[in-house]
Structure formats: C-alpha cells, structure tokens
Structure 1
Amino acid sequence: MNKIVTHNAGFHTDDVFAVATLMLLLNDEAEVIRTRDEEIIKTGDYVVDVGLIYDEEKNRFDHHQKGGASKRENGIPYASFGLVWKKFGEELCGSGDVAIDIEKNIAQGIDALDNGFNISKSLIPNVFIYNIWGVIGTYEPTWKELNNVNIDDKFLEAVDFAKRILKIEIKKTKDRLEAEEAIRERYNNSEDKRLIVLGHKDMYGRVITSNTLIDFPEPLYVVLRKDISYRNYVQAWQVVAINKSRGDFTFRKPLPENWRGLPSEELIKETGVEDVTFCHNNGLMCMAGSKEGAIKLAKLALEA
C-alpha cells in the first residue's frame, strides 16, 4: 500500500487538501502517516508539507525550504496543495480545463493564505469573510481538547471533508464549463446581442449564465428558464440584468425602476404582460410564467 507522509501536530488547509487530492487519486488505497521523523519521511511514496524538499519527480511536495517551491506567474507562492495539484490535478479531473479552473478558484487562494500572501482585504474594519480556512480550522481541537482528542484522527476527518468538497467541485466545474460553452454559442448565434434568450432545456442558472455573458460587451439581459417551479406556474422564466463585472452587484442596465418591488397585480398593469409575477427591488431580475412573457419584459426594458 502507498504511504502518504505529512507533518504531525497542527494542520492547515493546504496539507489537508493535498492529502485529500492524493487519497482521491489513489482511491483511498494509501496509508497516511503524520510525522517529522526524517527516517520515516524517506519511506513515503508521497511526502506532503514536510521534509524541506520539492521534487515533483520523487513526489516530494514541501514548500518550507529556503526559497520556497517557486511562484506562479501572478506572484502567488506554491504551498503543498498547489504543488500536488500542479502534478496530479489533470489526472484526477480527467480534464486539463477543469484542473486549471480549480487551480485558479481553489488552490491559489489556499496556497496564498498558507504562505501569508495577501490577495484580499476587508472593506469593513474587523469584518472578514468566513472561508475554507475557517471551515478546516473547526476540525482542529481547542486548547481544552488537546489532551482528550487524537489530532491525527481529526486530521483524517478534515481530509474526508476535503475529499467531498473536491469531488463536488470537480463535478460542478465540469458541468459549468459545459454550460459556459453552450451559453457562448447562444451569444454567437443571437441577432440582437443585447438580449440573449436561452432554450427550454438550458437550465444553467442565473449566476453561471450572467458570469459567462459578462465576458462580452453587448449583453444587457438574458432570458432563461428558472430551475424550479415558481409560485402557481408549472414553469417560470426570468429576465436577468447582466452585472457590470464579476463580484460587482451593479448592472449594465437595471430593470426599470417603476417595475421594482410592485405587487403582481400592479406589475401587470405597469408592463402590460399578463403573466408577470415579480420584479426584484434592486432591478436584478423579474419573473414571468412563460418564455414569451419574459421576452416581452426584456424588450420593454431595453427600450426603457
């Protein structure tokens, strides 16, 4: 059986996710050993976050040695998760595109924090986003538990959690990339590129759709089917205003202000669309019971 060696005592998100990646790759057919004993480290088939050696060919993935283990082009230094993912991510995902996406969206953030490399800051003093580091940190025993809890068992619990996260993220990323390709095709085939209309089966969701169309300059709205039944309608369609950029909660052209937050009866009178049911009070989106109704709303909004 393969041996995965990492350091003992406290653990961080990078070594947890590095070991989780290897366990998935090896179908859990590996023994995890937590130690700093150099003689035991030498026996490892994979050595993660310990040993002061980075040698991809020998499966040695530490970054604590003098000079570290290199940096990405954007300056983010590699930690153990990024090093393991760099070698094995594509093999685990079965797709280079999926592996690159997870490297960008997950591995880089984990590696940055482990190396003390700041990639974000709070806009409100002393208020911070609860992130994956906080989640993994819940598996570490508190100072009151140290004498009553086996920290190696807690590490393996955290690894099991990280394995579930990675499996979900790989599946979701594959599906999202497929959706993005289809959305781009819809954009390319649209005559009026200000308004993109998706089909009945194109249930990609508002966030994926909007984030894909942000890459193009023209789209103002997208019409898409909602992925669950809405109110009393068997199906529901939504008109979504496209964000100015990813992570920005402002829109290129918000839905008309006189629609926002109205009860459905007043909204019908205001728009003339009989199956309109809702318009968000910040101009993000509105709902109709039919595709035709949603398209009519979108065209009215374009001319407003």
Structure 2
Amino acid sequence: MTTDQTSPDPKRQKTEMRIGTHSGTFHADEALAVFMLKLLPKYKDSAVIRSRTPDVLEACDIIVDVQGQYDGVKHFDHHQREFSETFSPAFKTKLSSAGLIYKHFGKKIISFQLDMNHDDSRLDVLYDKIYAAMIEAIDGNDNGQSAYPDDVEPAYSTSSITLPGMVAALNPAWNEASDDAYLDAQFDKASKLMGDVFVDLVKYYGRAWLPARDLVKAAIEQRYQFDQAGRIVVFDQFVTWKTHLFELEDELDFKGQIMYVIYSDGKGWRVQAVPVDPNSFKSRKPLPEPWRGVRDQALSDLTGIDGGVFVHASGFIGGNQTRDGALLMAQKALTL
C-alpha cells in the first residue's frame, strides 16, 4: 500500500519498515525498484511512502528515486548532475533507481526467489544475465539512453507496448482529474506490473536457462572423448544449446573450436554444423558437399555409415537413425 504524507508520523513503531519514493507521476524504474525491495524479507511488509517532503522521506528506512543522494545504504537516487554509476565496467548504461536497487540487492533477491544458497557460484551468472536481459533496458529508458545509434530511424513505434510505456499509461491523462489516493493506487498497479514481469524472468533464467547452460557446459567438457581436438559436442537429451555454446566459448576461451553438435530430434539423431555466429546461416564447417541433398540408403551408401536419413542441401544439418551413426557422420565430416 502506498501513502502520500507531508509530515513524519511520530507514532510509527520502530519495527515498521518504510520505503520512500516520490509522489506524483511515476515511472517504470521506481515502480520496479520498490517491488524488488519488497521481495526481500527485510522489506516484505514495508509501507511505501510516496512524498516530496524531505522530512517525511528521511524518516523512511530506504529511499529510491528522490532526494538527490546515492550512498548505497539508504539513498538510491540517480538524478544528481554528477551521477555516473553503471552496473559494472562491462556496461555503459547509466543506472536508474531500478538498476541501483538491483546492483545492491539483486543477488539476495535472486537467491530468495530461486531458493539458492548465497554462495552458489551460479548466482553471479544469473545476476549479470538478468541485468542484461531486463534491468539495463529500464535504466537506459529512464536516463534517455537509446539502444540504437542516433542515425537509426525506427520503422514503427513500440512505445505503447514496452514496459515503460505501459507504466506511463497508468498515470492520469493530462485532462483527467486525480488525487494522491488515485495516483498511489495506480503506482501500486505499475509496481505489480513491473514486478510480475521481473519475477517471471528470474524464474525463467533460474529454472530453465541456467539448467540448460549447465547441461551445455557439461557436454562441452566431455567433447574430447568424441574428437581429440574437441570439435564435436554430444547432447544425450534435448536442450536449447546455441546461445549457451557461444557464450561459454567466450567465457572459457575456446571460441571457434566446436564444429558439430549432435542431439536427438525425438525420433532419430541430428548432426548440426555450428554457425559462425548465433544469428548466421553460414556454418563454420558445413557437412561435406557430396552428401548434401542425399537421403536414406543412398546417403548410407555414399558415406559408408548405416542409418543415414538426410543431409540438408546447404549442409548445415544432417540426420541418422542412431546416436552412433550421427557421431560417425560428424567424425567423418571433419576429415573431408
């Protein structure tokens, strides 16, 4: 619940926590910042105080997006002229109140949402990934930092379907009568909108993206049993692998070494040539040209490998009835 007050409440009990933010028109960054704080046990049952009165705000336990101060303890505002904080040296986007709260409390929030130990090394991976996947865009939008070069003209407007656009639409229209109670109620809606998306994102990355990454990393570590140079990766269960493979190549410093990935399609097995980059149709090493467009027994006869199913005309993928057959295709393709 949000309240707009003009003077401190001398009767409030010391055990009651308060989150302070500005009253009036609201934005996506503080709406999310407040929601993230309330995901922490310490602030779970906090009152949200929306005000412009300095004494009222200073009576709060933590203050976001107002008061012109940032100390990483109580004050989390980014509107100061000299403010230039970023998430880490790897990022250039200046933080908003959402980024500030995430920077200081993000790991705790993720660990509570996913029931992860605070010292789990994978927490660092999620912390960076979730910032890049969502929080950075909120920071950039609030600070007026475009995701595109200045000379790029958008083909159409997306402002009304972005999260900041949806939050902006919850503010009263210029010709709509409103009072503090209405604004506070709308802020609650905005905070829940931002927060629900954030929580769903955290759960996706923790429960789907991270397990996939673990499987891809484990398969990469086993690649030398299939090829002495480690150019073939085999997945014994289906997993979304492409983005993880490229990210792990950079992280583990073996970029460009893996040529083929083998996995089941539910009926048989596929051998897929790794593209030169995640969005490219060009492969690092396409399957051999003589195999392309050949199917079934003709493919088996040509390759000398039983169980042939097909090789695509471009050579980016092929199939075999068995795991061993697909592996033999990849191993032989490396020699041709």
Q: TM-score, normalised by structure 2?
A: 0.69
2:62 aligned partner: 46
1:18 aligned partner: 33
Deviation at 1:55, TM superposition (A): 1.4
Q: 1:243-284, CA deviations, whole angstroms, 9 ceiling, x for partnerless residues? A: 323554533123456666777787667766664556566654
1:241 aligned partner: 273
Q: Which has the larger radius of gyration?
A: 2
**Partner residue of 1:111 out of 139, 163, 177:** 139
* Amino acid in the other structure paired with 1:254: P
Deviation at 1:152, TM superposition (A): 1.9
Partners of 1:270 and 1:194 lie apart in 2 by 26
Partners of 1:244 and 1:184 lie apart in 2 by 17
1:161 aligned partner: 197
8 Å contact from structure 2 (residues 138, 164) kept in 1: no
1:195 aligns with 2:234: no
Partners of 2:25 and 2:259 lie apart in 1 by 49
Consecutive unaligned residues in structure 1, runs of 5 or more: none
SS in structure 1 of the partner of residue 272 of structure 2:
strand
* Amino acid in the other structure paired with 2:207: K
2:101 aligned partner: 84
Partners of 2:176 and 2:223 lie apart in 1 by 57
After TM superposition, the structure 1 stretch with the greater mean CA deviation from structure 2, 146-155 or 18-27, is 146-155
8 Å contact from structure 1 (residues 20, 162) kept in 2: no
* Amino acid in the other structure paired with 1:238: R
Partners of 2:211 and 2:306 lie apart in 1 by 35
8 Å contact from structure 1 (residues 198, 225) kept in 2: no
1:207 aligns with 2:242: yes
Deviation at 1:140, TM superposition (A): 4.0
8 Å contact from structure 1 (residues 194, 218) kept in 2: yes
After TM superposition, the structure 1 stretch with the greater mean CA deviation from structure 2, 76-85 or 141-150, is 141-150
Partners of 1:264 and 1:42 lie apart in 2 by 75
C-alpha change, 1:135 and 1:86, in structure 2 (3 Å) is closer
Partners of 2:128 and 2:148 lie apart in 1 by 21
Deviation at 1:173, TM superposition (A): 4.9
- Where does 1:120-269 land on structure 2 (aligned, <5 Å)? 120-121=148-149, 125-127=153-155, 134-141=162-169, 143=173, 150-158=185-193, 159-187=195-223, 191-193=227-229, 195-201=231-237, 203-212=238-247, 214-215=249-250, 216=254, 217-226=256-265, 229=266, 233=267, 236-256=268-288
Partners of 1:132 and 1:258 lie apart in 2 by 52
Partners of 1:145 and 1:179 lie apart in 2 by 55
Q: 1:215-242, CA deviations, whole angstroms, 9 ceiling, x for partnerless residues? A: 323211111234xx3xxx2xx4322222
8 Å contact from structure 2 (residues 31, 187) kept in 1: no
Aligned length: 295
**What RMSD in Å do the two structures reach over aligned CA positions?**
3.9
2:4 aligned partner: none
Deviation at 1:48, TM superposition (A): 1.9
SS in structure 2 of the partner of residue 5 of structure 1:
strand
Partners of 1:36 and 1:182 lie apart in 2 by 53
8 Å contact from structure 1 (residues 240, 285) kept in 2: yes
Deviation at 1:53, TM superposition (A): 1.3
After TM superposition, the structure 1 stretch with the greater mean CA deviation from structure 2, 207-216 or 264-273, is 264-273
8 Å contact from structure 1 (residues 239, 286) kept in 2: yes
Consecutive unaligned residues in structure 2, runs of 5 or more: 1-15, 112-117
C-alpha change, 1:115 and 1:167, in structure 2 (3 Å) is same
Partners of 1:261 and 1:23 lie apart in 2 by 58
Deviation at 1:139, TM superposition (A): 4.6
Partners of 2:317 and 2:29 lie apart in 1 by 39
Partners of 1:122 and 1:271 lie apart in 2 by 53
Deviation at 1:47, TM superposition (A): 1.9
8 Å contact from structure 2 (residues 271, 326) kept in 1: yes
**Partner residue of 2:325 out of 269, 293, 297:** 293
Deviation at 1:63, TM superposition (A): 0.4
Identity over aligned residues, as a percent? Answer: 26
Partners of 1:294 and 1:129 lie apart in 2 by 46
C-alpha change, 1:113 and 1:248, in structure 2 (3 Å) is farther
